[in-house]
Amino acid sequence: MGFGRWYDETILPKIVAAGCASEEVAELRKQVVPLAQGKVFEIGCGGGYNQVLYNRDAVTSFAGIDPNVTLLEGARDRARANGWEADVRQGVGENIPFGDGSFDTVVCTYTLCSVDNQARVLSEMRRILKPGGRLLYLEHGHAPDPGPAKWQRRIEPVWKKLMGNCHLTREIGAAIRPAGFEVEPIGQEYFEKAPKWAGWMEWGVARKVGA
């Protein structure tokens, strides 16, 4: 096993787990994840960090993908504990292995930053949603202020290598709208306990427009 693979399978999941378990992140998840209903698909579901927040009475089935094999086991364990009809697979957002119009809700939290092709992933999420279906999103990305944005550009090349292809400069709402969604923001803010170059957050609901 090469160093890169060892790092991705052993060290990176621990870093992701530490970041995903922070109090600030958890508070934002509580504003987004409980809105899911019906047949739910979660992209980047590895670790199962969102599952405790779903409204079990509103969710009829759960499916998800994640490229990280180690993190997937946590998602499967939590789904089984919830007693859900679940289909959790290894996969990438650029090629979601489910049919058109399969889901009422897609949940995407801290995932668009690390995919290879953001536009393609957004297109795939729209494809698997039923007409009028909702994408619930919570992401970090491009800071609106010049100072933090400058530091994001400087730090991003090294950051991507250490953090599993995580980009600091990607747009969030501005990228979701042209992908065929009507965006209803819930909130935008900098995390108080993070440097501004790493702490810009946006979260909300995006409804699929058209068929």
Per residue in 120-155, pLDDT tens?
Answer: 999 999 999 999 999 999 999 999 999 999 999 999
Measured distance CA(209)–CA(183) in Å, rounded: 10
**Phi, psi (rounded to 5 degrees) for 68:** -90, 115
Q: Residue 82: pLDDT band by 50, 70, 90 thresholds?
A: confident
Give the chain's mean pLDDT. Answer: 91
Q: Can you list the domains of the chain with their CATH numbers?
A: 3-208 (3.40.50.150)
pLDDT attached to residue 98:
97
pLDDT attached to residue 13:
65
User: Residue 18 pLDDT > 90, yes or no?
Assistant: no
pLDDT attached to residue 125:
98
Q: Which residues of 191-204 are buried (b: 16+ CB within 10 A; e: fewer)?
A: beebeebbbbbbbb
Q: Residue 59: pLDDT band by 50, 70, 90 thresholds?
A: very high
User: Residue 3 pLDDT > 70, yes or no?
Assistant: no
Q: Are the C-beta atoms of residues 139 and 172 closer than 8 Å to each other?
A: yes
- pTM, to two decimals: 0.91
Using left for φ > 0, alpha for ψ between -120 and 50, and beta otherwise, residue 44 falls in left
107 burial (CB, 10 Å; 0-12 / 13-18 / 19+) is: buried
* SS3 label, residue 42: strand
Which among 140, 138, 137 has a CA at the least distance from the CA of 196?
A: 140
Per residue in 165-201, pLDDT tens?
Answer: 999 999 999 999 999 999 999 999 999 989 999 999 9
